[in-house]
Amino acid sequence: MPNCDFTETIPNSSFDWNGIREPFILATENDYLNAISMLFGKLLTGTAQIFVDVRTFWSPQAVKRVTGKDLPDNADTGLIHLINSGSAALDGTGKQQKDAKPVIKPFWEVTDKEVSDMLAATFFRPANLGYFRGGGFSTDYLTEGGMPVTMSRINLVKGLGPVLQITEGFTLILEEKVHGMLDRRTDPTWPTTWFVPVLTGKGAFKDAYSVMNNWGANHAALCYGHIGDLLITLASILRIPINMHNISTDRIFRPSAWNAFGTDDIEGADYSACKNYGSLYEK
């Protein structure tokens, strides 16, 4: 019974052995809530989605202790190690480019050269037998830095129903030595995305640790671009309240009927409106 990492990675990517094509959303570990979160990102952007574990928080102090190096200034409250052996689309390498910057494009804009570059940046490692007794191959790459990305996740809360978490941020590239030392603390045979959330200075976005501490599961969907405002609008249409986000108020659009539930506490009003109108879809 080998692992399914390769089998999950390829459908999620924008190409396979037959060429460039639409990504097919597939979540590992039977995590249908993350699959839905990935599907939201794909439908809104047309891009491949990266399935990630929200695995480890690294503070500047811990990085200094382990590696002897300082984190970049834009990670002054720490960074989050996003890493999962399966379901990480190869588009997550960041080897697609626009205006000489790493991006993840809609599948219809991906070029043959970019497919070659993504494959060249990827290793298929023999599976860690501590996790996968049957063997197989795990996907391994390092995401390019400087990409705007949005991390999201639907969670089910007993007595409440589905809620959506959203965190916009940026990918970060570390020095090769620093990356190697930190990567080996988890599993160097898996793909890594170093993530720095955009902070607001309060609540769940007081610092990088608070983002991870408030995350509702060990999985998340990662989408290229800052699409948190689109996710909020989509969630209101589906009657899913937002329980965590770092989107500025001027970017948020919800139906005007939400104003009847209060305008001082717009997130509380979101919960009230979603409860009042009920789920758009029922089991």
The DSSP call for residue 262 is -
Q: Is 29 annotated in the active site? A: yes
User: b/e per residue, 129-148, with b = 16+ CB within 10 A?
Assistant: eeebeeebbbbbbbbbbebb
Q: Choose the catalytic residue: 53, 91, 144, 229.
A: 53
Q: Are 59 and 209 in contact (CB under 8 A)?
A: yes
Q: Are 182 and 66 in contact (CB under 8 A)?
A: yes
Strands 192-197 and 79-83: what pairing?
A: antiparallel
In sequence order, what are the beta bridge partners of 19? 16
Task: Please state, in angstroms and as integers, the Cα–Cα distance from residue 59 to each residue in 188, 191, 196, 271, following that order.
Answer: 20, 21, 11, 33
One-letter amino acid of 191: P
Q: Are 27 and 35 in contact (CB under 8 A)?
A: yes
In sequence order, what are the beta bridge partners of 204? none
Residue 218 and residue 145: Cα distance in Å, rounded?
A: 22
CA atoms within 13 A on the CB side of 260: 7
User: b/e per residue, 60-74, with b = 16+ CB within 10 A?
Assistant: beebeeebeeebeee
Which residue, 151, 123, 138, is CA-closest to 9?
138
Q: Choose the catalytic residue: 29, 76, 117, 207.
A: 29
Tell me the two tokens of residue 6: 């390769």
State the catalytic residues: 29, 53
